[in-house]
Structure 1
């Protein structure tokens, strides 16, 4: 079992109304194969025989259809206590997931939801930063003045700003785990500010990225499978990226890295 550094993103899953439809979409998009949970409405996803994510059927229709990301912690009870002390909200107190580990869910002061994972027999991703697997996550928020210190306190992140941009808005911030030198080489996630051009109805959220070999082809395949392209392929300093939506409404991003992936 490969261990994850404290506060590193270690897992991602998606909550879907129709689990079987989700398997068809992501199997067709990323080439994932699946192993269903014993009597449970979820399926582990594999790429090249290695764990990369999970799909879960929603038990409550009021739950959002969305991808979630989990951060590793060595002491989930202590991290949950920090969430409360730092102005966040605990949505799900620590609960065992069999022998795999212990999970909790929380929201930051801007309302973005994330998960915490204390590993048992399962550390998390068995493959990442390679085509068909998770490679990056960023919180998109309207409240950086509250969110930045929250993640520094709760997860021990240390930030590196990439700006300031020419228009004077808040620069993008990369997060590096405690004990590392902040910068692109150590970053595990980021923070982006939602601008005035983003509808107010869109809440703060985490956007997770999956690496692909060809961004444009993947975007085209998503549409062929019934999905949408909220943000079409575009070049960035780290590669070509697009924001996609699956055929049930869950939003995620893909990145064709150019070798500069943190």
Structure 2
């Protein structure tokens, strides 16, 4: 199994009030199957695609009243050290580093503009067993109204390289502020950052959008709507794939992308 470099996305999970409904939804939309719930760890249940671990779902902790949302975890060889850098860079620790049995060590943090994410220091659980294929994690982007804060934070905490997308001739790209972060250099992109515009309601906070690969974007949108989910944006063609931003019936935002259906030339980055 591949090792994840520090700062690379390595896992995703989400809390759902109705875990059974979440399993049915993602089983249909993304083709996932699910393992046995780990009662020792709050009924944490892993999701699989083609028998490979790709995500997990879990009920809320007792007394918790947080909305359903996907959480992206970044790999860390030393969660305590990364947690210190997070605070030094102006972020907050929502949950201090915590050992999860022999599986590894986790922490939950918030970057200065408000997006929440996780850290994972692997033990027995290394992270994704499959990425960039149908049914698995494909990409993620930080959506924020304060990109300067997010940019300074992530490049300091994870020593990311950063490249700004140049505006092209497409009118839809006019005024777009999009950046890509890389681990070890721009040749290894791991995370995008998008400035939130007026199309986002003011009550929507900064967040990290997780993209899952699907064989057909339009079919995934149809299945989402048929099961009570919502379409927020798209489907839209791009040089990276045909994608759409969605929400499941319990309100957790996510995106789907067909990586095989690409349209247009790749944008220039500087």
**TM-score calculated relative to the size of structure 1:** 0.93
- The aligned runs of 1:1-262 (5 Å cut-off) are 1-39=1-39, 40-59=42-61, 60-164=63-167, 169=175, 171-177=177-183, 179-180=184-185, 182=186, 185-258=187-260
> What SS class does the counterpart of residue 92 from structure 1 fall into?
strand
**Contact 1:19–1:42 under 8 Å retained in 2:** no
Moved over 4 A (4+): 165-168
Gaps of 5+ in 2: none
Q: Count how many residue pairs are aligned between Structure 1 and Structure 2.
A: 257
**TM-score calculated relative to the size of structure 2:** 0.91
Aligned mates of 1:21, 1:259 — CA distance in 2: 30
Shift of 1:170: 5.5
Aligned mates of 1:196, 1:30 — CA distance in 2: 30
Shift of 1:2: 2.8
**Contact 1:19–1:41 under 8 Å retained in 2:** no
> What SS class does the counterpart of residue 36 from structure 1 fall into?
coil
**Contact 1:17–1:61 under 8 Å retained in 2:** no
**Contact 2:38–2:45 under 8 Å retained in 1:** no
> What SS class does the counterpart of residue 236 from structure 1 fall into?
coil
